[in-house]
Structure 1
Amino acid sequence: MEEENPGYKVNAVSHEWADLHDKILINASSNTLPDVARLDIAWVPEFQKMNILVPLDPQMGDFNEVAAKLLPSAMSTGMIKGSYYALALNTNTKILFYNADALAAAIIEVPKTMDEMYAAIKALSGTNANGSRCGA
């Protein structure tokens, strides 16, 4: 990265995700915020309201070029009052997957509700064929 951007020095600092929010708040109170941070999108409105974020679109000369390569629906989550305060570098979702063979062997239909899912987990809990503990 530094080779592509002479004159800039990157000092990458890693924090445990669970501690990052509080560390940013502490840094804000002591005026020692990082120049760039990877945040949870849910924190952006809070930090913007505290005036510890700057809008990216007027600050980045290539903002439109960069933003055009990112998912528009994800980018919309970083917009507050007509300005972008975040780049949506990735998205994630919670998914549920299941072992169709395990359900079939236990004569359990694929769960369609949370209650059915919990009941299936309870019914399938125990030790699998490999001797590993599984389930709740």
Structure 2
Amino acid sequence: MAILSIELVSKIPITVDQMPEDEVEQHLIITHKGEVSFDSYTADNKKEPCRHFMVHMDQHAITMALVYLDLYFEEESVICHTQGERKWQLTIREDDESLKTFTGSLGEDILFNGRSISYGLRKFIPITDLWLFDGKK
């Protein structure tokens, strides 16, 4: 099956030492057509994004990113553990309209063939402070 789109939601817990304007949630959507949409939300406002970004990306880069995600998450041995409150959730929509959802701990990057998927995505998506799977900025 081919991936039509992915949605990645990365969340960190709200703590007492955070400022109201600190980001606590990020949503990234990538489609097979090269459309990238990003929204982030603060601790004090989860209804209106504090940052919003939409762009049409290079088709080759998008295809490579989706192929890496497809290959990684198609493996039967994929096991994602979620410990703590810093987490990500990935939803993959395939061409047969099926949805697959995976969750994991934000901070443990996903490696495929020894390569960081988060680093690869950051290379071509021009969004600052993109958490993705590893939570790095």
TM interval, shorter chain, is under 0.3
Structure with greater proportional strand content = 2
| Structure having the larger proportion of residues in helix | 1
Structure with higher Rg: it is: 1
Q: Which has the higher contact order (CA 8 A, sep 6+)?
A: 2
The TM-score normalised by the length of structure 2 is 0.20
